[in-house]
Amino acid sequence: MIEVAVGIAMREDGTVLVGQRKPEAIHGGKWEFPGGKIEPGETPKEALIREWREELSANLRGVQPWKRVDVAYGERKVALFLLFCQSLGEVTPNVYQQVAWKQPKELLEMDLLEGDLLFLADLIAWEVGPERPGMLHFFDWYQIHARELPWRETTDPYRIWLSEIMLQQTRVETVKDYYRRFLIQFPTVEDLANASEEAVMKAWEGLGYYSRARNLHACAKLVAENDGEFPQTRKGLLTLPGIGDYTAGAVASFAFGERVPAVDGNVLRVAARWFGIWEDIMKPRTRTLITERISAILPEDTATFNQGMMELGATICIPKNPACGRCPLEGDCYARWHHEQDELPIKSKKKKPKRVEVAVGWIHVEDRVMLEKRPAEGLLAGLWGLPSGEGETQEEALQALLDYLDEMFDLQVGPGRKGHSAEHIFTHRVWTMTGYHFEVSESPVVEYPMNRMLKLEEFDQLAIPTAFQKIIKKGSR
Ligand code: SF4
């Protein structure tokens, strides 16, 4: 069996390159897709690049394997390895009588080599643009390699929306468990809408970024008022609280099949490398540019395309050392072909989070400890925690705590006993927490801030954010 690499170079206008064999050659006068024999030890891609250089003085890029077609020329059996590619610059026919760029349909009128006729019908069936073969390869990759995630098995907008909100800033592995438990507790959007804020916050406890939970609850209430129906378009979804561009695109395409992109951080990275975009992806105008580029190539099956792009960013086109050899966009990727994966994307550095000293107060009344509900605005709003004071130094923080206890709870407690320390990193600040223990004889009685005296083992009745959990876990003494 002879193995031959065959190159199908397709231009933006859908024309493909064919060459006419010289009269004295075998099959003289016939037209064919340029290519040549694969030498021992060569891959079809390497053979094709070499052959095009020798036969057409052309440099190929974006070479992607398509399929193999076996053909018999009399006794001779030939395996054709078909590859899609782009040629850079002009081509000069060294072994052909002439070359021509033709629409695949026009090739029906030409005297094409028998083997090449075998795949011409497939070529004609393809349109230029989104459905071009590279994209088909991308879909195949997704079908084979996509991770099985519970929210991918549904088109229920409630479940998709819930998973998307949970996945913002949170790892997939963490979300899986929360998603499952949340759906047991709130199986429908109406169940979520009718739940108390306390119950929603408790279910969210540990996921962080609590404003997401508050928006989730507010959004569920609005959807429940609309008979539990989510808006079915990106535009409609954008009117709901907590739903931004990305989430609206994801829900609209996954649940309702709308042909709109879903551009998250992963997609920004993949697109910047794939298209060769040398703009800062942290800037809104770059996001707009990338959204427009992706919108222009969205295929019919937008949901799978969007899922695939995100999957690619999460598993292959990762920030450091992307696995280009396993990437379905490899043959078409700017960064890969220019060896600039490490330079792209351009991403301006986030500001370093500010370090803050926090004095955390343990107010003990016998075997109980006071928890307070934090204000409705600001960091960890509406959640339960130990009273605290902030400062640039530990002394300042402690003083702030003592002032706070005096002012809000009428407690004059002295410096207290120093306890355990812990650290918690928020997006914009890092808390270095130190606990201080104060023994008091009576529970403070105030209406605001709302407070409760509980035994340590009763703390899990309330939604306590991870920052406080860290210091609580170290012990109350
Ligand atoms: S080829 Fe490499 S850089 Fe390009 S999209 Fe794929 S993984 Fe990313």
What is the tens place of the pLDDT at every residue in 284-331? 999 999 999 999 889 889 999 999 999 999 999 999 999 987 888 876
75 is catalytic: no
Distance of CA 3 from the midpoint of ligand 1 (Å): 29
- Ligand 1: residue of 277, 321, 326, 329 to mutate (most ligand atoms within 8 A of CB) is 329
User: CA-CA distance, 469 to 477, in Å (whole number)?
Assistant: 15
Distance of CA 261 from the midpoint of ligand 1 (Å): 19
CA of residue 410 relative to chain centroid, distance: 50
* 273 CB within 6 A, ligand 1: yes
Q: Whose C-alpha lies nearest to ligand 1, atom 1? A: 330
* 314 CB within 6 A, ligand 1: no
Distance of CA 314 from the midpoint of ligand 1 (Å): 12
Which segments within 34-95 are labelled E, that is strand?
A: 35-37, 59-73, 76-88
- Ligand 1 nearest atom to the CA of residue 329, by list position: 6
pLDDT over 90 percentage in the chain: 60
- Ligand 1 nearest atom to the CA of residue 316, by list position: 7
Query: Bigger pLDDT: 65 or 419?
Result: 419
Q: Cis before residue 345, ω within 30 degrees of 0? A: yes
User: CA-CA distance, 465 to 477, in Å (whole number)?
Assistant: 20
User: CA-CA distance, 228 to 192, in Å (whole number)?
Assistant: 11
Mean pLDDT, residues 157-178 taken together: 93
pTM for the model stands at 0.63
In order of their start, the domains of the chain are 2-128 (3.90.79.10), 150-337 (1.10.340.30), 354-473 (3.90.79.10)
Lowest mean pLDDT among 91-95, 343-347, 432-436: 91-95
Give pLDDT, residue 135: 62
Q: What is the pLDDT of residues 17-63, one digit of tens each?
A: 999 999 999 889 999 999 999 888 777 888 999 999 999 998 887 78
Distance of CA 298 from the midpoint of ligand 1 (Å): 18
* 344 CB within 6 A, ligand 1: no
CA-based R_g, the chain, Å: 31
Residue with tokens 């250089």: 53
* 274 CB within 6 A, ligand 1: yes
Distance of CA 293 from the midpoint of ligand 1 (Å): 17
- Ligand 1: residue of 63, 268, 294, 316 to mutate (most ligand atoms within 8 A of CB) is 316
Q: Whose C-alpha lies nearest to ligand 1, atom 2? A: 324
Q: What is the pLDDT of residues 191-238, one digit of tens each?
A: 999 999 989 999 998 888 888 999 999 999 999 999 999 999 999 999
Q: What is the DSSP letter of 367?
A: T
Q: In Å, how far are 9, 263, 267, 336 from 274, measured between CA atoms?
A: 19, 14, 10, 8
Give pLDDT, residue 130: 43
Distance of CA 448 from the midpoint of ligand 1 (Å): 55
Are 437 and 416 contacting, i.e. CB atoms less than 8 angstroms apart? yes
Contact residues for 261 (Cβ-Cβ < 8 A; gap 6+)? 249, 253, 267, 291, 294, 295, 298, 302, 306
Residue with tokens 């549904």: 154
Q: Which stretches within 342-450 are classed as H helix? A: 394-409
* 175 CB within 6 A, ligand 1: no
* 329 CB within 6 A, ligand 1: yes
Mean pLDDT, residues 450-466 taken together: 90
Q: Can you tell me whether residue 262 is helix, strand or coil?
A: coil
DSSP 226-252: TTTPPPSSHHHHTTSTT--HHHHHHHH
Which of 164, 258, 330, 372 is catalytic? The answer is 164
